[in-house]
Amino acid sequence: MPPMPKAHLGFLLALVLGGVLSGLSDRIDPYHLDVLIGVGINIVLAVSLNLIAGHTGQFSLGHAGFMAIGAYATAAVTIFLGPHLIGDTAAPGGLAENTLFGSALLIGGLAAALAGLLVGIPSLRLRGDYLALVTLGFGEIIRVLLQNFEPLGGALGLNGIPAYTTVFWVVAAGAATVFTVGCLVRSNYGLGFLAVRDDEIAASAAGLDPARYKVVAFTVGAFFAGIAGGLFGHFKMTITPSGFDFSRSIEIVVMVILGGLGNTVGVILAAVLLTLLPEFLRPVAEYRLVLYSLLLIGLMLARPQGLFTFRTHRAVPRA
Amino acid sequence: MKFVSLLRFATLLAVSPALHAAEPIKIGEIASLTGKEAAFGQSSHKGTVLAVEQLNAVGGVLGRPFELLSEDNQSKSGESATVARKLLSREKVVALLGEVASSRSLEMAPIAQRAKIPMISPSSTNPKVTEVGDYIFRVCFIDPFQGTVMAKFAKETLKARRVAVLTSVSSAYSVGLAKYFKERFLADGGEIALEQKFAEGDKDFKAQLTAVRAAGVDAIFVPGYYTEAALISRQARELGLALPLFGGDGWEAPQLIEIGGKAVEGTYYSTHYSPEDTAHAVQAFVAAFRARWNGETPDAMAALGYDSACVLADAIKRAGGTEGPALRDALAATKGFAGVTGTTNMDPARNASKSAVIVTIKDGQFKFVQSVAP
């Protein structure tokens, strides 16, 4: 059964759903809306990291760094260029504003993709723990650079970002990420990602170029992380370099591992679960994080293969 | 550490039976109860809880008790915005109290401003916080004033002419305070002989301190937080630098002495209040705080947390209600409010203009040196 038309249909349905939800967003409780948008942004982050870490098997600890680049680039466009492009009189939520935001997101995504390309290139020579260290270092470099760069707010961060992020944008970005990553991995070309993950030497022996697959995975993954960053910034209205630190990267890695490396549906469910869990645990106040960590340990012990991985799937997915 | 829900319960119990019929006034508090800045968040939270309990013990205001809803943000960015929305939309709080750190106050501020619900930051000293909008207030002084106070202190009391500045570039607070100190010190004819940088979490400052030693200065200004300040003092003494070190309110924590030991003897910092102040209000507060929190001595964050709730209660009383715009106007009109951290006057930019206190460390104890009026 060819899965492609189904995927397209799903993508379109998600866009419609996003439009409907966005229309209703005035009636949704702002707190629920906040959590909903947080879930959406985390899905984008987790699914895009899953392409790098899950499908291609390149362990990356720098996803928050890509997110930071996207967040700052997008915010820089809307704050510094926005007023010149659409003026102060543009209707809130109007076409001009959404066009500006869409293009800004694209620029943010591309800036992050460029960074992904730059990180992808040295990763050609590294694998496993060494690559993890390089990506970790990259994330920290981005954070420290932003901390010291006064025009973008320095350590205090960038304030007064317009609140352009709506449910529609988040659902659309989530759908686009799942659609792109899903289609990419299921395509003939994309089987190469899985081959590189399963056995790099065998993949090169079969005539595949592992280096190219890794760079493509990093670039595409970083692109969507950048979009997620842009959505985050225009939702919280404030971004600080310390918000994109190592622990943010780890949060995304945990979502991917808990969902099951390479299991897109599992990763989405894990992103939803791990965003909602801390909110549900709010009543226990200071013990929240202790409980949260205990639950994580318990879940990993119970299902080391990933919470939502029910079959041992090898290199060849259902075609 | 305790369950906040238990505290809420205790808060409700404190309400006298006659008031049970009256609907409580809900106040939202956002604090870093866990995470990196938990020491500050916990102190501030304890002060606020004490204030609310005391207010309820005398029947609340307008015949209605207070209900304090506290939320944690794990000292993490992104969380404060979420909990601010939660408190505003789910709990319908009439005002928000928080945050200690300026960067997190800046996250809550646009949300409070949009909802037209007043927000009072107990101890965010960065000027940008209240610039967000006319619903954002604070009960502490701001960094330009603190920088000025320390510049004057360096020149007049320490008789320093050449000063080295060690700034933590990862903290907006530190960068801001360093800037205002330098501006004033240079304007007063002083000389900044050397500027060195570090980042929060650094453990080794020998390179910076060796440069300081080579520069031949009279004093070292360290506008950072207590952990780094204590380590810098230790390492300066190990390198044989016997110069006075001084800093801002970020030094204020018992950990300064715990980590710094003998090395922090004779260092100075500016802060919002001193528990040694003999004023009646301060002594009553210190005694009440000790009784409520197992003998703990309240620090400046606790005193400001306490004052933030009291200033709000005072404004609600004067506004005669809890409607956002009326409450905002009442807060803006706060004049001569006598709190634990001195007399609070709201200036037109919604910053409290109040005096600073300079504290030194002597024999392992914090000692009050002088009070500097604005």
- Burial of residue A90 (number of CB atoms within 10 Å: 0-12, 13-18, 19+): middle
Q: How far is A148 from chain B (nearest CA, A)?
A: 7
The CA distance from B311 to B351, in Å, is 13
Q: How far is A288 from chain B (nearest CA, A)?
A: 9
What integer pLDDT is reported at residue B62 of this predicted model? Answer: 86
With H, G, I as helix, E, B as strand and everything else as coil, classify residue B371: strand
Decide if A294 is inside a domain: no
What integer pLDDT is reported at residue A88 of this predicted model? Answer: 67
Q: Which of B82, B126, B175 sits opposite A35 (nearest CB)?
A: B82
What integer pLDDT is reported at residue B253 of this predicted model? Answer: 82
Q: Do B176 and A31 touch (CB under 8 A)?
A: no
Q: Does A29 touch chain B (CB under 8 A)?
A: yes
Q: Which two tokens stand for residue B10?
A: 């205790």
Q: Which of B1, B88, B172 sits opposite A154 (nearest CB)?
A: B172
End-to-end CA distance of chain B: 37
Interface of B with A (CB under 8 A): 1-5, 33-34, 70-72, 74, 76-78, 81-82, 85-86, 88-90, 102-103, 106-107, 110-111, 126, 128, 132, 169-172, 174-176, 199
Decide if A43 is inside a domain: yes
The position carrying tokens 């260029």 is A81
- What is the CA A236 to chain-centroid distance, rounded? 16
pLDDT > 70: percent of chain B: 94
pLDDT digits (tens, 9 = 90+) for B338-349: 888 888 888 888
pLDDT digits (tens, 9 = 90+) for B269-328: 999 888 888 888 888 999 999 999 988 888 889 999 999 999 999 999 898 888 888 999
Decide if A12 is inside a domain: yes
Q: Which two tokens stand for residue B86?
A: 């939660």
Find out whether A182 and A83 touch, Cβ atoms under 8 Å.
no
The CA distance from B361 to B369, in Å, is 10
Instruction: Give the type of residue at A248.
Output: R
Residues of B in contact with A231 (CB under 8 A): none
- This prediction's pTM: 0.83
pLDDT in single tens digits along all 319 residues of chain A = 455 567 788 888 888 888 888 777 778 888 888 899 999 999 999 999 999 988 888 888 889 999 999 999 999 999 888 877 777 666 677 788 888 999 999 999 999 999 999 888 877 777 778 888 888 999 999 998 998 888 888 888 888 888 888 888 999 999 999 999 988 888 888 888 989 888 888 988 988 888 888 889 999 999 999 999 999 999 988 898 888 988 889 889 988 988 888 888 889 999 999 899 888 888 776 777 788 888 888 888 888 777 777 765 554 444 4
Q: Does A162 touch chain B (CB under 8 A)?
A: no
Q: Which domains does chain B have, with CATH numbers?
A: 4-141+278-354 (3.40.50.2300), 144-271 (3.40.50.2300)
What order of strands is seen across the sheet that includes strand B95-97? B66-72, B25-31, B95-97, B119-121, B136-138
The CA distance from B122 to B137, in Å, is 9
Q: How far is A88 from chain B (nearest CA, A)?
A: 18
**Residues facing B270 on adjacent strands:** B358
Greatest distance between any 2 Cα atoms in chain A: 60
Q: Do A236 and B102 touch (CB under 8 A)?
A: no
Q: Do A287 and B90 touch (CB under 8 A)?
A: no
Characterize the bridge pairing of strands B25-31 and B342-346.
Answer: unpaired
Q: Does A289 touch chain B (CB under 8 A)?
A: yes
The CA distance from A16 to A12, in Å, is 6
The CA distance from B220 to B203, in Å, is 18
Mean pLDDT of chain B: 86
What integer pLDDT is reported at residue B121 of this predicted model? Answer: 93
Report CA Rg, chain A. 19
What integer pLDDT is reported at residue B338 of this predicted model? Answer: 85
Q: Do A159 and B169 touch (CB under 8 A)?
A: no
Q: Which of B78, B132, B171 sits opposite A243 (nearest CB)?
A: B78
The CA distance from B189 to B160, in Å, is 11
What integer pLDDT is reported at residue A289 of this predicted model? Answer: 77
Decide if A313 is inside a domain: no
Which structural domain, as residue segments, surrounds residue A141?
4-251
Distances (CA, A) of B215 to B162, B165, B175, B243: 9, 12, 21, 12
> What is the predicted ipTM?
0.79
Residue B38: is its pLDDT beyond 60? yes
Contacts of B99 (CB under 8 A, 6+ apart): B30, B31, B32, B41, B73, B80, B105, B107, B108, B121, B124
Residues of A in contact with B33 (CB under 8 A): 285-286
pLDDT digits (tens, 9 = 90+) for B253-285: 888 888 888 888 889 999 988 888 888 888 899
pLDDT digits (tens, 9 = 90+) for B218-265: 899 999 888 889 999 999 998 888 888 999 988 888 888 888 888 888
Find out whether A54 and A256 touch, Cβ atoms under 8 Å.
yes
Residues of A in contact with B74 (CB under 8 A): 289
Give the mutation candidate from B70, B170, B177 for the A interface (greatest A CB count, under 10 A).
Answer: B170
Nearest CA in chain A to B30: A285
The CA distance from A72 to A226, in Å, is 9
Q: Does A99 touch chain B (CB under 8 A)?
A: no
Q: Does A277 touch chain B (CB under 8 A)?
A: no
Find out whether B359 and B274 touch, Cβ atoms under 8 Å.
yes
Q: Do B77 and A282 touch (CB under 8 A)?
A: no
Residue B3's pLDDT band (cuts 50, 70, 90): very low
Q: Which of A144, A240, A285 sits opposite B72 (nearest CB)?
A: A285
Q: Which two tokens stand for residue A184?
A: 């990419």
Q: How far is A91 from chain B (nearest CA, A)?
A: 17
Q: Do B74 and A242 touch (CB under 8 A)?
A: no
Residues of A in contact with B76 (CB under 8 A): 243
The CA distance from A239 to B119, in Å, is 20
The CA distance from B32 to B324, in Å, is 25
What integer pLDDT is reported at residue A272 of this predicted model? Answer: 93
The CA distance from B95 to B28, in Å, is 6
The CA distance from A192 to A185, in Å, is 8
Q: How far is B150 from chain A (nearest CA, A)?
A: 22
Decide if A260 is inside a domain: no
Q: Do A157 and B77 touch (CB under 8 A)?
A: yes
Peptide bond into B99 cis (omega under 30): yes
The CA distance from B265 to B293, in Å, is 28
Q: Do B170 and A287 touch (CB under 8 A)?
A: no
Q: How far is B99 from chain A (nearest CA, A)?
A: 14
The total of structural domains in chain A comes to 1
Q: How far is A238 from chain B (nearest CA, A)?
A: 6
DSSP secondary structure code for residue B351 in this structure: -
Residue B182's pLDDT band (cuts 50, 70, 90): very high
The CA distance from B259 to B276, in Å, is 22
Q: Which of A144, A156, A287 sits opposite B103 (nearest CB)?
A: A156
Q: Which of A38, A155, A283 sits opposite B172 (nearest CB)?
A: A155
Residue B76's pLDDT band (cuts 50, 70, 90): confident
56-85 in A: which are within 8 Å (CB) of B?
Answer: none
Residue B173's pLDDT band (cuts 50, 70, 90): confident
Q: Does A237 touch chain B (CB under 8 A)?
A: yes
